[in-house]
Amino acid sequence: VVLEDDEFFQSNLTVWPVEVLSNMSGQTTVTFEYIQTPIEVPMFVEVIQGDGDSDPLVSEITDGSSVSFFLSQGIPQKLNVVIGNRPPTVSSDALSADGGDRSISLEWVESDGRYGAESYSIYREGAGDVVGLTSASYIDNEDREGHDGQGLLYESTWSYELTASNAAGESTDGYSIRTSGGDQENIDGTSAVASATTDNNLDPVSVPINAYCWTGCEGENGEYSAVHDGNGDENNEILIVFRNSSYDDDENDEIDRYNWIIDGDVYSISPDFTENTSQINITTGIGHDQDAKEFIATLTVESDYPIKGGVGTRSHTASVNATLSEEPNEDPIAPDALSLIVGDDGLSVATLLDLDDGNDYDSNAQLWYVPHDGDPQTTTASLSFDASASFDADGDELTYSWSLIAGEDLDWSYGDLNQNGVYDIGEPVFEYGGGEVYINPLEVSTDITYLDNLPSDVYVLELTVTDAYGDSDKSVLVVGVEEERNEAPTVEAGDDQVWYMPTGQDLFDISMSSHSVDDLDSDLLSYSWDLDGSIQNSLGNQSSPYLELENDNSLSEGEYVFTLTVSDSYGESGSDSFTVTVLNEPAPVAANSLGIDDADNAFKQIQISWQEGVLQSDFDGAYTGDLHNTLYFIVSMNGEERATYQNDAGDGATYTHHERSLDAGSDYEFTVEAFNSDDEGGAVSVVSQTTHARPEVNLINPNGGEIYSVGDDYTVEFSTTNDRFISSIDIQFLGSDGQWSNEDENANVFSNTGTGNDSKTYIGSISSEGSEIHNGAAIKVIVTDIGDADGANKESNEDASSSSFTLAAHTISKSFNDGWNLFGSILDVSDGPNGELMVDNLSASFGNWGEYWVAYDADGQYENLSLSHGEGFYLALAEDDILVLEGDPVVGDPENGALATIELIEGWNLIANPLVLLTAKSEISVEYDGVTLPWEDAVNAGWIAPSINGWFGDSHFPYEVLHPGGGYWVNTSRDLSLHFTTDDGSSEDLARGDNSNSWNMKLNASSLDGESFGDYLVIGLADNADSKFKYGEDEYDLPNPRFGNKSSIDIHVNNDNLYLYRDIKSTDFQDYQVWNISADMYGLSKFKLDWDMGAIDSDVHLVVEGDIVDMKAQDSIMLSSLDESSIVVGNIGSFLEPVPSQFGLGSAYPNPFNPTTTLNLDLNYDSFVDVSIYSVTGQLVANLISADMSAGYHTVNWDASNVASGVYIVKVIAGSNVASQKVMLLK
């Protein structure tokens, strides 16, 4: 109970601490009830949380209200009952102020809660207080210091204080807190203070502008020039005016002051002051050919404005440029070079017949020529030029000056406008003159025209046109004056003549061939004939048209040259010749109808025939002799003379020549040369013939891979070429003694097919003798030809089997070791003398069943077994022995398909090789559902397991090649057929391996005494392998042979509840790959486990009941069991302890290395890992890892193939762990 003081409760608080205690735990409720009507002040209850570190749970107290909480036994729950009211609290940083345009925005955090504010007051600097505000913001823009409309002024700082009020009073009043025990705490009042500065005033903007220019100038926007007035003197009264458009964007502000600064060649300024004027004028001047003048007008403007306690000023400066250019004047324009030429008719005088207009310009050649007048002493040409095409845009009066430069080797540069590589009249000339001696430049005329007579030379004519301002232009023309032209005379002596001397004459009369002389200039000509350098006849000073010149002669046999020579008045001359030939009797004519007689049978002999060649009846009108003028013939073969034949058999006779013994298949060329009575030859006829090739033979069958039986017929087939030239055919057989022997059969009586006499195919049957199995059998066919024309020079060709075939007897023996074997029948014994029962066939060789031998099938049965061809059996012998079987071998040709087929059922099958020769897996095809695949493709298709297991020693053993009479286990995933064939030598090896990166290990389990059945398994890694079971990649455990009391061991891989003897896993693993292995032992207590593996970088360990064996350091171990056994490839530590206890970097191995090395990295927690290689100088060489990695055992590989030899540092950063080591690369 406290003192009843209503006034205290109206603005202060009283607190009653309460504790609730119970002797049991449970949910508790405290209820408040009024005894009498209380004063109207707030009443609350605070439920204290924990030790009071957290805010209490607050509830308002009304009549009958309650609070609930969980009360623990013996632990008091504290409550505070609070009655009274108090002023609101204002945080010292509750108020914020933000300056604006002559105003300040105020915002504050509201005082709420149990004793929240009902209104707020703002106490302002320089203005009255604002009270009774109910929102949490206020904008102050009330005018200060008597500046109407200017609000809080620019750039001025003002302060504010915020208070809050409610029914208990204002926040600055403070309050007290009493407890029921009489203690009292006094709480100070609160408020918030803030200040802000109004925005800055804006600068005025100076905008000087170019207004205009007058008094002798023109232009706009600051670009002016003096007016052209025809006078080159300076205009010094030019006026340029500058104005301004300056402004101030601030409200109520205006520009108060102007100040101008003028830079440039100014003669005067008006007004004569530059301050406080908004416009300024300058006077200046400029003349022709003067540089442009630049003027800069700089204007500074200022504005005043009120601030707290005074006045502020702001200014701005800007400039504007103006340019005054010289008085303009257009240069005169000289005519282009071609326009200077006065060409008149444009024709020069080239011949005596041309008209002369007194101007020697040739417009086609664009040259001047000294006129052709028949007088070589005249040397000048007439030239004319005119500058009337000159022009001046200003209309100024022009003057002219012509200059001429001449020289023998005048040099100049020009613009090649038409890109033809030579100078053409009218193209612009840039430079002329050079290092030669020249005529000094000479002004040759000041008139508008220029006329002259100039000798042949190269000239530069320069026209200069000048106006009243002294401005000028030039036109340059290269003038070429050529020497007087003269064309040399032409002459045609006529055609050559050929004549035959008539019989009985020594001289032959001839006349000159039709001839002519001419001259394009129509000059007077002189011409004459000479014979072999001696003049015979001539004419002088002949005018056009020019007459022929006669010159008849009588000539003996031989060749004569007549030359006609002509010259003109300029000394130019020409000559031409023709030849007269007087011949003796004509040459003979080559033989006619030369050919090969019976070319189809030109085997080792050739006969040719021909007839005499005869001159044509119209051979030549000057010849009167016999047209049959061949006296004899000479025959040559391949350039060697073989015989001479006289042409004495009469007109139209046929002559022959026969070569009786030649080589077959050779090229022969025969020539027949005719000679006349003067022994003149050269008339040759040629014929060629290739003798037919010797007959050849191609053995078609047997040609490799076939199997035939001894004493039984088999087919021999062969083909021949050039069969008509065969005299005999022989067949030989290659026996087991390595000797060839003739077969009795006569191949000439074989049936044959073919058309004509060229190629045939022969088919027949033969039989061969032998014993057991002869794998090297072959057939050879020999063909002998008919020889030459006399039956001599016979030769033979032969062909033998490309690959050997097999000849198998009907009785075959096979040796077996004592102990256990897997075998099958090498022959089909069903039709043999012993029948099909196994006991009848084997007892004949081994003796009594059960005493000397015993056999079981795949199911362990031994009674009434049939020795079925293709089925496998287990055979146990008391001692080494030989099995002799009688029956029929499998025979056939592999080209005709499979030789034998075995039907298999799904699962394990015990088969035997049905053929009498070794059979590779690649020679076995697999058929399923009508589709046949090669062995490897069937494995890849999942039809059949890849391994074929036979027997070796005391254990199963994988075989790639099946032996005759051997037994083998095969596993299939479905019922299918195996087709057996042989290699005929025509196909490549069909075995296909996986070339991807792979590794295998074979483990062998055997008894210590070697008397028990052993076993083996294979594990491995491959790039594309599936670590789970995959049929064909992994293989089921082999059936374990358990017959009688024989002890044995069966080892296997345990994979997903499957027993496997082959398990291949993927090379893609994190730290390790593991195989769980186990063994079943029958009649054994211990065994030996040995292994053989391929090269591998990773560690390989065997873990047996916790013991660890390094399988790379040793290759065998003695064991009593394989319980809880595993083979681990990779990090054994990660397998044994998945997470290492501490961080570690293992030593690099190998080190030194080339080119790769490996380090083990142990991470004891997940972290970001960086592994980098540095040189000893600290340069980064490679970054191997930069990634997040999980805890565990890892390996790091570095391939330094592209790095130079040297010492390098491996640095590893894993979280806070750092490790490094040196490695050495030796190449």
Same domain, 25 and 121: no
Please give the structure tokens belonging to residue 941: 């298709």
Q: Report yes or no: 1098 and 1135 within 8 Å, Cβ to Cβ.
A: no
Residue 322, Cβ density class (10 Å: 0-12 exposed, 13-18 middle, ≥19 buried): buried
Domain boundary among 667, 688, 709: 688
DSSP-assigned beta bridge partners for residue 782: 730, 798
Measure the CA–CA gap between 968 and 965, rounded to whole angstroms. 10
* Side chain identity at residue 978, one-letter code: L
Measure the CA–CA gap between 634 and 643, rounded to whole angstroms. 6
Return all residues near 533 (Cβ < 8 A) that are at least 6 apart: none
In a domain, 133, yes or no: yes
Measure the CA–CA gap between 101 and 932, rounded to whole angstroms. 97
- At 1140 the three-state DSSP class reads coil
Q: Closest Cα to residue 883, out of 832, 817, 837, 951? A: 817
Same domain, 781 and 702: yes
The DSSP result for 384-425, as a single string, is EEE-TT-B-TT----EEEEEEEEETT--EEE--TT-SSS--T
Measure the CA–CA gap between 1091 and 38, rounded to whole angstroms. 101
Measure the CA–CA gap between 1016 and 1091, rounded to whole angstroms. 9
Q: What is the tens place of the pLDDT at every residue in 972-989?
A: 999 999 999 987 554 444
Q: Is the pLDDT of residue 410 over 90?
A: no
* CATH number of the domain that residue 1183 is part of: 2.60.40.1930
Same domain, 290 and 374: no
Same domain, 513 and 570: yes
Number of domains observed in the structure of the chain: 10
* Side chain identity at residue 1103, one-letter code: V
Measure the CA–CA gap between 111 and 170, rounded to whole angstroms. 12
Secondary structure of 608-664 in HEC code, one letter for each residue: EEEEEECCCCCCCCCCCCCCCCCCEEEEEECCEEEEEEECCCCCCCEEEEEECCCCC
Q: What is the tens place of the pLDDT at every residue in 929-986?
A: 999 999 999 999 999 999 999 988 888 889 999 999 999 999 999 999 999 998 755 4
Q: Is the pLDDT of residue 91 over 80?
A: yes
Measure the CA–CA gap between 539 and 517, rounded to whole angstroms. 11
In a domain, 817, yes or no: no
pLDDT at position 616 is 80
In a domain, 655, yes or no: yes
Q: What is the tens place of the pLDDT at every residue in 519-569?
A: 998 888 999 999 988 899 999 989 889 999 999 999 888 899 999 999 988
- At 8 the three-state DSSP class reads helix
In a domain, 826, yes or no: no
In a domain, 889, yes or no: no
* CATH number of the domain that residue 632 is part of: 2.60.40.10
Q: Is the pLDDT of residue 1138 over 80?
A: no
Same domain, 730 and 776: yes
In terms of pLDDT, which residue wins out, 753 or 581? 581
Radius of gyration of the chain (CA): 65
Q: Is the pLDDT of residue 718 over 70?
A: yes
Find the domain containing 1084 and state its range: 998-1136
* CATH number of the domain that residue 111 is part of: 2.60.40
Same domain, 267 and 350: no
Residue 333, Cβ density class (10 Å: 0-12 exposed, 13-18 middle, ≥19 buried): middle
Q: Is the pLDDT of residue 501 over 80?
A: no
Q: Report yes or no: 400 and 464 within 8 Å, Cβ to Cβ.
A: yes
The DSSP result for 461-478, as a single string, is EEEEEE-TTS-EEEEEEE
Distances in Å between the Cα of 88 and the Cα atoms of 12, 45, 54, 179 are 11, 19, 22, 20
Same domain, 343 and 475: yes
pLDDT at position 620 is 64
Q: Is the pLDDT of residue 433 over 70?
A: no
Q: Which sign does the torsion angle of CA 224, 229, 234, 236 carry?
A: negative
CA torsion angle 831 832 838 843 (round to 10): 160
Q: Which sign does the torsion angle of CA 763, 769, 773, 779 carry?
A: negative
| Residue whose token pair is 């220019």 | 213
DSSP-assigned beta bridge partners for residue 468: none
Stretch among 296-300, 465-469, 1019-1023, 1171-1175 having the lowest mean pLDDT: 465-469
The DSSP result for 828-886, as a single string, is BGGGSTT-SBHHHHHHHHH-SBTTTEEEE-TTS--TT-B--TTB-EEEEESS-EEEEEE
Q: Is the pLDDT of residue 816 over 50?
A: yes
Return all residues near 787 (Cβ < 8 A) that are at least 6 apart: 604, 727, 793, 794, 795
In a domain, 873, yes or no: no
Domain boundary among 1088, 1112, 1136: 1136
The whole-number average pLDDT for the span 442-456 is: 92
Q: Taking the model in full, what pTM does it have?
A: 0.46
Q: Report yes or no: 137 and 106 within 8 Å, Cβ to Cβ.
A: yes
Same domain, 346 and 478: yes
Question: How sure is the predictor about 1140, in pLDDT bands with cuts at 50, 70 and 90?
Answer: confident
Q: How many CB atoms lie within 10 A of CB 34?
A: 11
Q: Closest Cα to residue 492, out of 582, 570, 566, 567? A: 566
In a domain, 1055, yes or no: yes
In terms of pLDDT, which residue wins out, 681 or 903? 903
Residue 27, Cβ density class (10 Å: 0-12 exposed, 13-18 middle, ≥19 buried): exposed
Q: Is the pLDDT of residue 516 over 80?
A: yes
Cα distance from N-terminal residue to C-terminal residue, the chain: 101
Same domain, 363 and 426: yes
In a domain, 834, yes or no: no
Q: Is the pLDDT of residue 625 over 60?
A: no
pLDDT at position 1141 is 83
Q: Is the pLDDT of residue 1113 over 70?
A: yes
Q: How many CB atoms lie within 10 A of CB 858?
A: 17
Same domain, 1132 and 1147: no
Q: Report yes or no: 891 and 708 within 8 Å, Cβ to Cβ.
A: yes
Measure the CA–CA gap between 292 and 659, rounded to whole angstroms. 113
Report angle CA 294, 300, 303 to the nearest 5 degrees: 160
pLDDT at position 232 is 67
Q: Is the pLDDT of residue 204 over 90?
A: yes
Q: How many CB atoms lie within 10 A of CB 147?
A: 16
Same domain, 1132 and 1167: no
As a whole number, the mean pLDDT across the chain is: 89
* CATH number of the domain that residue 929 is part of: 2.60.120
Distances in Å between the Cα of 105 and the Cα atoms of 95, 198, 351, 1061 are 11, 10, 112, 89
Question: How sure is the predictor about 211, in pLDDT bands with cuts at 50, 70 and 90?
Answer: confident
Q: What is the tens place of the pLDDT at every residue in 642-700?
A: 999 999 888 889 999 999 999 999 999 999 999 987 788 889 999 999 999 999 999 99
Domain boundary among 449, 482, 515: 482
If residue 316 lies in a helix (H) or strand (E), which one and from where to where?
strand 310-325
Measure the CA–CA gap between 37 and 45, rounded to whole angstroms. 18
Number of H helices, E strands in the chain: 5, 94
Return all residues near 935 (Cβ < 8 A) that are at least 6 apart: 921, 922, 924, 925, 926, 944, 990, 991
pLDDT at position 992 is 39
Measure the CA–CA gap between 38 and 127, rounded to whole angstroms. 44
Same domain, 773 and 724: yes
The whole-number average pLDDT for the span 410-423 is: 65
